[in-house]
A and B are shown apart, each in its own frame.
Chain A
């Protein structure tokens, strides 16, 4: 594998047919390649999530990350856009699903696509990955420490993140969950509740919780980075995608 790729900013049609900005990274070959929709974290459509997107292209996948804040803040700096979105109450769940659906359609329409697509996200993007995987027909999903899946965010807060546990029965694809044992949102109890519900629903899933790791252990630029958890996590994601996106 050469890791050669092309990465660029494009426009895709998202929820309601809206045209939104997106970052597309894809191998230079003719394919066929599986696709990965990367959902950026709450701090926004930023450099670090673009790096993640390119990482999957280097591994041989068509990776596409829609800018979930494009409507509120077209052309804004990622941190300004994130602040605006937060002040407005965050990304509505139905809009998120529409944007991921548009991204999946865009990937599958590419001549190099093999017709398969996964979704992956960290933090709020982990919760949104679970939402997408229980709302859309996907081939695989990776939830990296998504909070508020089991309990939701407190209803009095302006940022609306309702619980999604009752959607477990709609999970359309295999789910890989990667968590830190020292995380509090989601804490180990929440992860256990979600695993119990997925088991009860007969779903195909595998969860891994890393000792000594808290939230955001994949973030190389933050003190929360845990090299052993991150390296093992990427290894598991690679194996997972090889199994379900080939």
Chain B
């Protein structure tokens, strides 16, 4: 299928490591579509991007949907743990 389902999130104070090392990531695009590499018809894909540095400034993952859900819960758990220790949510 061809859903074009895409969410875009602006990121602050965040970094990622790509082919040329670490760089600030300014946005994340989350979508459900064909993967480039993962062995599935469709995956949950995330691109961490820095538009100021060009298309190659990208950290990409392609996640099987159940794995993506686990990852999302893990991120929320880490954010909650961070908040309970006094950091802003």
> Interface residues, chain A, CB within 8 Å of chain B?
41-43, 72-73, 76-77, 79-81, 83-84, 86-87, 90, 123-124, 127, 145-148, 153-154, 157-159, 161, 183-186, 214-216, 222-224
Contact = CB atoms under 8 A, between A and B. Distances in A.
Interface of B: 1-8, 27, 29, 31, 33-34, 36, 39-41, 47, 49, 51, 54-56, 58, 60
A86 B31 contact: yes
Contact of B4 (A124, A183, A222): A124
Which 5 A-B residue pairings sit nearest by Cβ, starting from the closest? A147-B2, A76-B55, A185-B1, A73-B55, A80-B55
Given A86-B29, A145-B2, 12 more contacts: A42-B34, A43-B36, A73-B55, A79-B60, A80-B56, A83-B29, A87-B27, A124-B4, A158-B29, A215-B2, A222-B41, A223-B41
Contact of A157 (B6, B27, B40): B6
Contacts, number: 88
Of A73, A80, A186, most B-chain CB atoms within 10 Å: A80
Given A79-B36, A87-B8, A42 B55 contact: no
A121 to B, nearest CB: 11
A87 B2 contact: no
7 contacts: A72-B55, A83-B49, A84-B49, A123-B34, A124-B2, A147-B2, A158-B29
Contact of A148 (B4, B27, B41, B51): B4
A216 B41 contact: yes
